Structure formats: C-alpha cells, structure tokens
Amino acid sequence: MILTENLKDGTLTVCLKGEMDHHGAAAVRQDVDELIIRSKPKKAVLVLSDINFCDSSGLGLIMGRYKTAVRVGATLSVMDPSPPVERMIKLAGMDKLIKIERSARA
C-alpha cells in the first residue's frame, strides 16, 4: 500500500492507495499512527478513493487510527471511500462513529 500525507491548518490528510488487506494494512498502520502522534492534528482524514479492496484488516486499520486520533485529541474522518471500502464501513456500522466525507471532485 502506498501512503502520502499532507499537514495543513491543523488537518492531517493521509492518502492511501492499494489494497486494505492483512499485508497492506500492516505495512502502513504504524506509519499513520506515527504521523498522527507526531503532528497532533485537530483533524485526521484518511483519503480512501484509491483503495480497490478492503477486508476486516482494512476496517481494523481505520478503527485503530480512529483510536489513535482520539488519544491525541483529534477527530478522524474518511474521505471519498471507494465503493468496496464504503460498503465494508457501512456493513460494520462504522459510519455511525467515523464520518464519511466527500470532496468537491468526488
């Protein structure tokens, strides 16, 4: 999984690309946590428009980063999730806890 990040005006935006399966999630889990802990943003956003597969490990990736964000006093949202990711988030009921946002381009 490929990760890019941007911190601007108290918002940490992390774009993920690839598959959110066991291997992909394990590869970026710690990196995203370190970004959140180091930057202590007011808001963290996971951009998931370029994720083409998501299983329970992907849901765990999102939920774990939610817990890390809360621990540093930030909110966490998911931006432009691809259809497979959005379906998994809603099936798990995580959309009740984590806001799904849409960008102007989506």
How confident is the model over 6-42, as pLDDT tens digits?
A: 999 999 999 999 999 988 888 899 999 999 999 999 9
For 2-101, CATH gives 3.30.750.24
CA gap 66, 97 in Å, rounded: 9
Is the pLDDT assigned to residue 89 strictly greater than 80?
yes
CA gap 34, 38 in Å, rounded: 6
How far lies 12's CA from each of 7, 9, 71, 88, in Å?
Answer: 4, 8, 15, 23
CA gap 9, 22 in Å, rounded: 32
Is the pLDDT assigned to residue 106 strictly greater than 80?
no
Alpha-carbon dihedral 74, 25, 34, 89, rounded to 10 degrees: 0
**pTM across the whole model:** 0.93
Nearest to 63 by CA among 39, 94, 90, 91: 94
Share of the chain above pLDDT 70, in %: 98
105 pLDDT band, cuts 50/70/90, is low
